[in-house]
Amino acid sequence: MKAWALEKPGQISSRPLHLLEKPNPRPGAGEIRVRVSACGVCRTDLHLVEGDLPVRSRGVVPGHEIVGTVDEIGAGANRFAGGERVGIAWLRHTCGTCKWCAKGLENLCPSARFTGWDEDGGYAEYALVREDFAYTIPRSYDDIHAAPLLCAGIIGYRALQKAQVPPGGTLGLFGFGGSAHIAAQIALAQNIEVHVRTRSSAARALALELGAASADLPEAPPPVHLDSAILFAPVGDLVPVALEFLGPGGILAVAGIHLSAIPSLDYQRHLFNERELRSVTANTRSDAQDFLDIAAHIPLKISTVRFPFDEAPDALAALSSGMITGAAVIEL
């Protein structure tokens, strides 16, 4: 099969991904093989390729927003039938026995493994996954528009849960890419007032089109105090900015796996009055299923930019330069 592999991280301008011919993978016990039709391009892929995340498997194939059809079934696997459309997401293995798994926090499992980081992902013609970590895709989305649901959507949903916006409250979104533009629509469906802060003029236009109450540059104060905020941009400098815009008791959730250095915080300006700063780490399968159930009933408008499979590095370069409005998707 053809696959884009990462031997050594480097700036995306140095083209660190290489197109290779690899043996077609064969599913083991309890696994399914998926013939990939589309794979979303996540900022986490960019962090991995450029070395912000340590390489855990040399020659790994990135990509964890995978949509395709079941092509081969391993011994003992019976959840899906051949030809059935499924999705593969970021979380691909947990131990199931540690104290975090026992508490329903499998995203914090010390033995967790991740698609496109620990094991090969979807920048390839085929991908493997344990059947209990695969998902049925809502029928209302074609493959291209379904792919961003598998991480951008799931993580946006978990970040929204962690932000704990009160009913009818106000929410600030800092950064407005693949994940934020989905989270905004879920919040709006819950009658939450959304205020978007991003440097991209195209993203601000999309935010207003989707129903945001305001859209401005990150440093521009929103017209109201925010009950909650989510930081999607991997920019630590925005943490004190967002905290200062929160009202008393407000929560700032940081949605990314990587963040640049956070400046010093002033206790009175940024944290007093019981304002909180919390991180969002991966997702649970329950998060994923809950979100996909919601996506099946809310007509989410997924903004995508398509790239042919042979142009996967160009998709990452476009994401790095801020040229993507919504989500980039590699189409096979």
Q: Could you read off the pLDDT of 53-71 as tens digits, one per residue?
A: 999 999 999 999 999 999 9
Cβ pair 63, 124 in contact under 8 A: yes
Query: What CATH number does domain 2-150+282-331 carry, 3.90.180.10, 3.40.50.620, 1.10.540.10, 2.40.160.20?
Result: 3.90.180.10
Indicate the domain borders of the chain.
2-150+282-331, 154-279
The pLDDT tens digits of the residues spanning 166-214 come to 999 999 999 999 999 999 999 999 999 999 999 999 999 999 999 999 9
- Integer Cα distance of 184 and 194 in angstroms: 7
pTM: 0.95
What pLDDT, in 10s, does the model give residues 248-281?
A: 999 999 999 999 999 999 999 999 999 999 999 9
Q: What is the pLDDT of residue 5?
A: 98
Q: What is the mean pLDDT of the chain?
A: 97
> What does the pLDDT read at residue 67?
98
**Residue 185: count of CB within 10 angstroms of its CB:** 22
- 3-32 pLDDT, tens digit per residue, is 999 999 999 999 999 999 999 999 999 999
Percent of the chain with pLDDT over 90: 99
Give the per-residue pLDDT at 19: 97
CA atoms within 13 A on the CB side of 162: 25
**What pLDDT score was predicted for residue 258?**
95
**What does the alpha-carbon distance between residue 253 and residue 195 come to, in Å, rounded to a whole number?**
15
Q: Tell me: domain 154-279, CATH 3.40.50.300, correct?
A: no
- How many contiguous H segments (helices) and E segments (strands) does the chain have? 9, 17
Is residue 197 within 8 Å of 207, Cβ to Cβ? Answer: no
pLDDT for 245 equals: 98
Would you put residue 191 in left (φ > 0), alpha (ψ -120 to 50) or beta? left
Give alpha helix (H) positions in the chain.
43-50, 99-102, 143-146, 152-163, 178-189, 201-210, 238-245, 285-297, 312-320
Confidence of residue 284 (pLDDT cuts 50, 70, 90): very high
What is the pLDDT confidence band of residue 240, given thresholds at 50, 70 and 90?
very high
Q: What secondary structure does DSSP assign to 69-85, as a single string? A: EEEEE-TT--SS-TT-E
Alpha-carbon dihedral of residues 115, 22, 124, 280, nearest 10 degrees?
A: 20
pLDDT at 299: 92
Residue 227 near residue 248, CB atoms below 8 Å: no
Q: What is the structure's pLDDT at 68? A: 98
Strand partners for 91: 114
Token match 């929103």: residue?
222
Contact 213/196 with Cβ under 8 angstroms? no
Mean pLDDT of 135-162: 98
